[in-house]
Chains A and B, each alone.
Chain A
Amino acid sequence: MAPLPVTVIGGYLGAGKTTLVNHLLRHAAGRRLAVLVNEFGELAIDEDLIEAEENGLISIAGGCICCSFGNDLIGALHDLAAMSPPPDHIVIESSGVAIPGAIVSTMLLNENFRSDGVVVVIDAETVQRNARDDYIGDTITRQLTDAEIIVANKIDLVDEAACAALMGWLASVAPGAIVIAATRGEVAPDALLGVVSNPGPGHPSDHSDQLFESMVVSPRPGSDVAVLAERLALGPYGVIRTKGYARGPDGALNLLHTVGQRWEVTPALDSHEVGIICLGFRGSLDKSAIADLVAHLARTAAHRVNLA
């Protein structure tokens, strides 16, 4: 079985993690999400989304589920992996003081999972003040340094100057992270969970998706997939995340992922068509540069074949 993608959503209390999770569930677009929350507080899941609730497991419209992991996240993950059929994607909403990187390294001990990004939600208005707090300041900084994507939530509550100051501050605290501004946790699931190839008809449109655009590239067989992944993640292409399949120099099919500046190439376990979806901010995604990169790697591959 291919490892299940797991996205960790961290951030301090009040940042809007729960609102974001509800938004993802509402716009799952055919993804069968399994959401693990630390606890079912009041209003953990919007009531209109709940179809049934039994034995601590909430069934949600569209085939998603939600359960609380309490003090045993690893056990809860293990139970999800054993479900038949398994979910498409696991989302962990961590506790407000959890260090997301620690959750990821523990989760990766189990070969059934792969990390599909650390998302840290912040309250755009209060995060800098909280980061100076004696008690929680270092926790918030540690959360931010673990982030691949930072959702700057409640951005509507700060004016332009404060917003610019926030972005400058985030760039110094978490230089590797991509920042997505949001209000009421409305971030397109494509940006946080990856693009679904066939969303299917009848799924509600998410207006926040106007923030993003995507393109599909099909690298020629023989391209160096690791180099491609690294360039897409680190290069100036405006890419937030990519996912897809490509054949490497040895002809084997590889699964390629990038989230923010982290990239990963692993052997594909099932057969898939070659093609990589790249997603970025509308207007920032440099489609022609990405096409050039793919063409360049294809030429290098061809050159290597000729030499041989």
Chain B
Amino acid sequence: MSATTIYSARKILTMNPNQPEVSHVAVRDGRILGAGALSDLEGWGDYTLDDRFVDKVLMPGLIEGHAHTMEGTLWRNVYVGWFDRMDPDGKIWSGLKSIDAVVERLSQEDARLTDPQAPLPGWSLDPIYMDNQRVTRHDLDRVSTTRPIGVLHASGHIMNVNTRALELAGLLKPGINHDGIPLGDDGLPTGELFGPDTMTPVGPHVGFDRALTDCDERGLVDYAKLCVRAGVTTSTDLAARLTDESVGMMLDVTGRDGFPTRIVPLKVFFGISPEEIVDYVVKLKDRSTELLRLGRIKAVADGSIQGFSARMRWPGYHNGAPNGLWYTAPDQMLELYNRALAAGVQVHTHTNGDQATQMALDMLEPALKAYPSPDHRFTLQHCQLADAAQFRKMASLGMCVNLFANHHFYWGDEHYRLTVGPERAERMNACRTALDSGVPLAIHSDAPVTPLGPLFTAWEAVNRITASGRTQGEGEKIPVDAALYAITLGAAYTLHLDDELGSIEVGKKADFAVLEDDPTAVEPMALKDIQVWGTVQNGRIFAAADL
């Protein structure tokens, strides 16, 4: 018989309503043999009592329901964001509060590079916090005029490059006529590139790969380290291409001894027909392993609100910008839903604008009538602008939602002031309405767009503070216990994994977040400051300090 270890802890938050808090958890074969008082567990036979967590608080391993493992790859570039952020090795990079500071950090990296022509990529710039100051090629030319430099914005939709990068890409010329490439007084591009159409031709010259959204081998290893530091034991990779090659890489990396995270990649519905993707994903499902869960689809209905490419219902954007773009045609969404339901494949759909949400609802309803599918759990991702009626509709269709709580902190002020105006900004990412309507709820970071950290995400759903410190949408706040549920069982439910993950109870995977403090006891405003010691994943112990 396999060995049994019983861990004692200061407190164990189980998410099991029959015994919400216990003192001990028994683990055998990477699974939870039981939770309760020590005396409840001794009946299982011989055990080793392990008290290393005696002053820690255990929670079910946190689950990130919408992130991208490419964050692991991005950390190989220079971080120039506004906020402090921790890298995979645990180093905290201080936030940069001026263009000068950005130039200085890039210059430090420039000095380290020996090849004067080697590209220098940076990431996570966000001039929104610097009074929307324009960054131009001349700013980056202060770093270097010999090497190409490109800095990706936090949103992922804008890139700043220097003169050398424009030269290499053949874009340092007059007469360019493109919405995404503003020109300076000299008639030449300013070095600001808006949208993937303009970033793609320049990206490879500055060190960003053509397949930017794909994680590589080292990136996946680094991403898993970030997960341990955030208490995350399971993470989605929400828009992967999942080619044969990348699936092979992910199977290899996640299959290695000591890989600490269960990865759930969703194949993105772009450039492939509905029939093909459903067939492909059905086959992929069979290649699933314990730590790589395949067999789901991610569809994208529209763009982003701050990029004005989200599809809005009347009255549209607050600043009068024209309506955004469909990324998938309604008829094609319908065909995808039909085929996916018929094959029993789950689809998560990105919707940002409220018209995109409505479209997804309007397409799923007839698909469900054609292919009745109890327990389909199709999930709307982001779904930032949904109103109460839409949440009621989600509930009656059996849908789940994964709201972008972090976005509310990072860009809530911008939405209030510019994109959607006060009333709709207050109801964005309406967690309270979702729960009141009976829609199963998860909340997310969309890392790398915002940092991975479910406790921060929960803090934001509880407090609804924006970056400027305002409370935005008092009525949509949720209590701490509901937020903690959303980052554990709630997220597990949206992935059909609630039978094995998300709570600490007999039979489930021994996945724990090991915390230095008790999230149910600290002030709600301190939730984000709780230190993460590390994780236990399938019974294996990962201390953040030892990574």
Contacts and interface: CB of A to CB of B under 8 A. Distances in A.
A159 B97 CA distance: 66
A108 B179 contact: no
A39 B331 CA distance: 15
Contact of B272 (A39, A97, A136, A138): A39
B327 A41 contact: no
Given A13-B329, A105-B177, A41 B197 contact: no
A105 B178 contact: yes
Contact of A71 (B170, B270, B330): B270
B270 A96 contact: no
A40 B276 CA distance: 9
Contact of B355 (A39, A75, A135): A135
Contact of A14 (B197, B311, B331): B331
A134 B177 CA distance: 31
Contacts of A109: 170-171, 176, 178, 181, 198, 201
B183 interface: no
B179 A105 contact: yes
Given A12-B329, A95-B329, A72 B200 contact: yes
A160 interface: no
A97 B325 contact: yes
Interface residues of B, number: 35
B275 A106 contact: no
Contacts of A139: 325-326
B178 A96 contact: no
Contacts of A78: 201
A40 B279 CA distance: 14
Contacts of B331: 13-14, 96
Interface in B273-325: 273, 275-276, 311, 322-323, 325
Interface in A18-49: 38-42
B537 to A, nearest CB: 32
Interface string B327-350: 111111000000000000000000
A3 interface: no
Given A102-B179, A102-B197, A109-B198, A136 B270 contact: no
Given A106-B197, A136-B326, A139-B326, A71 B271 contact: yes
Interface in A44-59: none
User: Could you tell me the dominant secondary structure of chain B's interface residues?
Assistant: loop
Interface in B257-276: 268, 270-273, 275-276
Interface in A191-227: none
Nearest to A69: B271
A71 to B, nearest CB: 4
A69 B196 CA distance: 14
B359 interface: yes
Given A13-B331, A71-B270, A136-B329, A110 B170 contact: yes
Contacts of A69: 271
Nearest to A139: B326
A105 B273 CA distance: 26
B326 A111 contact: no
A13 B180 CA distance: 26
A136 B329 CA distance: 8
Contacts of A12: 329
A63 interface: no
B210 interface: yes
A134 B358 CA distance: 11
A46 B270 CA distance: 22
Nearest to B327: A97
8 contacts: A13-B329, A13-B332, A39-B276, A42-B273, A71-B271, A75-B200, A99-B325, A135-B359
Interface of A: 12-14, 38-42, 68-72, 74-75, 78, 95-97, 99, 102, 105-106, 108-111, 134-136, 138-139
A-B residue pairs, 7 tightest by C-beta: A70-B271, A41-B273, A97-B326, A106-B197, A71-B270, A96-B329, A97-B329
